[in-house]
Structure 1
Amino acid sequence: MRASRLVSLLLLLQTRGRMTAHQLAEELEVSVRTIYRDVESLHEAGIPLYGDAGPAGGYQLLAGYRTRLTGLSANEAEAMFLAALPGPAAELGLGSVMAAAQLKVKAALPPELADRSGRIQERFLLDAPGWYDDGDTSPFLPAVAEAVWNQRRIRVLYRRWTEPTEVERTLAPYGIVLKTGKWYTVAESAGRTNTYRVNQILELTALEDDDSCFERPEDFDLTAYWARQVAEFRTRLIQGDALIRLSPAGRQRLAEVMAADVVKAVEATAEDDHERAGWVKATVPIESLTHAHGQFLALGAEVEVLAPEPLRERIAETAAGLAKMYGF
Structure 2
Amino acid sequence: MQKTERLVAITLLLQARGKMTAKRLSDILGVSIRTIYRDIITLSLAHVPVSMEYGPGGGYYLPEDYHLESAIFTREEAISLILSADIAGNYNLFAGDTDLHRALVKLEAVLPEEYQADVRTAREHILVDTSAWCNATTEPTHLETVRAAVLGSYQLDILYPGSSCDRFASAGILWRRIEPYGLVFKGLSRRHARIGRWYLVAFCQCCQSFHTFRVIDIEQVYVRTESIVPRPDFDLHAYWREARKQIEKQQPPISLKLRVTANARYSPLHGDVSILKEEPDGSAIVQVNVESLDDAISYALGLGADATVLEPQQVRATVASTAHAIAKMYS
Q: TM-score range by the shorter chain?
A: 0.3 to 0.5
Could you say which structure has the greater relative contact order, defined with CA pairs below 8 angstroms and 6 or more residues apart? 2
| TM-score, scaled to structure 2 | 0.41
**Whose Rg is larger?**
1
Structure number having the greater helix percentage: 1
Question: What TM-score does the superposition give when structure 1 sets the normalisation length?
Answer: 0.41
